[in-house]
Amino acid sequence: MVDYVANPGGGMRYIAQALGAMSAVAGGLSIEVVSHSQALERYRAGLAEVGVAAAYTDAPPRNRAARALYGAGRVKALRRWLGARGVHAPIQFEVPGWVARGGADAVWFPWIHLHMPPPPGPAPVVATLHDLIFFTSPETLPPGQHARERRAVEGWLGSGHRVVMTSRATLGTARELFGVAPDRAQIIRVAEQHRTAAPADPPAAWAWARGPFALLPANLSPHKDHETAIRAWGAWARAAGTLDGGSALSAVPVVLCGRDADLSARGRGAQLARLCQAQGLRLGVDVISLGFVQDPVYFGLLQRAWALVMPSRHEGGGSFPVAEAVRAGVPVVCSDIPVLREHMEAIGGRVSWFGVGDADDLTTRLAALRADHARVSAEARARVSALSDRGWDQVAREYLDVIARASRLAEHARARP
């Protein structure tokens, strides 16, 4: 498994659960993680935490720029520093040549972005393309990166490597943007039976957690669209007449959590904090920004949540937080985007949809939920037993089948005179 990014959050969770399931399904499977520096250390810690046994190889990327900017955290920090000075540093990881020529039976790239495809070798290469958000939301990439990222994705899609996508919606976007054939990728949908931590009680200092609250679990990437949620909360408060000392809104604050979701931070966090103030919302009362929280705390909050709100404009194979809330019997209000429709139809989940980027529509949905919360909550709990039971063992079998077919094709090609 080769990855130089080690995306915190959903990316790491996907990889850990898929690798753990592949190891369980394929008896005797050996996993070698090829990465570098901070990303490699995140894999050591993250996979050990969930009991996935692996060997680790520290293999610096071939290109000097990537070696200088290795590790997602360091990449972001240095890019911010350079960007503030008008310098933009595009980066792509070029993997060592031995990766596809070495002794592995197969090579998996679980995150195509920021990686150049390796040249073909004896070992079949399978790569997963979760989303094309970098192209549908260009603001998620720094200036100068788009052309390089497009070349990398086109390289993967035009290569002989096997490509997996996690939704039909992503394949449809790839057809629109890159003109790929409908059969270019194997669709392997994410599972819903996620490995979750045992819920922990929230800290005693979080008095708001003892009353109703809405949960918005997302990092601060622009495509998560916190702006729409903040504007909706402000409109909801004004409609209820609560911004002048009333108590109706403060009974249902919105709680932001996720990597970088701390509105005291510089950059985007500070921008969102200013938007809250412009909407008349009180930080720490109406809008509570926790930033990253450990899994036990998060699942403890999810169990207590009045609702989960997801305003995202784009996702990959669906949304882990939305699926987890539906499986926990928590009411969900989320943006009506194709991939989330596809995900909910697949698992049999019911949520309240609002128009993408439409704060007024979200306000209406929140008010309707508040007026009928007891019934909606009871229905959400009652539907849990009817949801899809797709597990990560099924995901593992589908990946192993893709790898086996790629291996057979490679053997056939080598056998030809």
235 lies in the same domain as 138: no
Based on the fold, state whether residues 298 and 332 are members of the same structural domain: yes
Q: Tell whether 249 and 181 lie within a shared domain.
A: no
pLDDT of 31 reads: 95
Q: Is residue 5 part of a domain?
A: no
User: What pLDDT is stored for residue 237 in this prediction?
Assistant: 83
pLDDT score recorded for residue 312: 94
Same domain, 335 and 351: yes
Two tokens, residue 320: 């882990």
Q: What is the CATH number of the domain that holds 53?
A: 3.40.50.2000
Element (H, E) at 308: strand 307-310
Q: What is the pLDDT of residues 107-156, one digit of tens each?
A: 999 999 989 999 888 889 999 999 998 888 887 777 677 888 899 999 99
For residue 156, what pLDDT is reported?
96
Q: Is 258 helix (H, G, I), strand (E, B) or coil?
A: coil
Residue 371, in any domain of the structure: yes
Q: What is the largest CA-CA distance in the chain?
A: 82
Are 245 and 163 found together in one domain? no
* Closest by Cα among 159, 89, 169 to 132: 169
Q: What's the CA gap between 395 and 405, in Å, rounded? A: 16
Positions in the chain short of pLDDT 70: 64-90, 143, 194-196, 241-251, 265, 408-417
Q: What is the 3-state secondary structure (H, E, C) of 187-243?
A: ECCCCCCCCCCCCCCCCCCCHHHHCCCEEEECCCCHHHCHHHHHHHHHHHHHHHCCC
| Same domain? 136 vs 274 | no
Calpha distance 322→302 (Å, rounded):
11
User: Is residue 129 domain-shared with residue 54, that is, in the same domain?
Assistant: yes
Do residues 163 and 305 share a domain? no
Number of domains within the chain: 2
pLDDT of residue 27: 83
CA gap 415, 417 in Å, rounded: 6
Residues 216 and 156 in one domain: no
Q: What residues make up the domain containing 177?
A: 10-191+392-415
* 291 beta partners: 257
pLDDT for res 89: 54
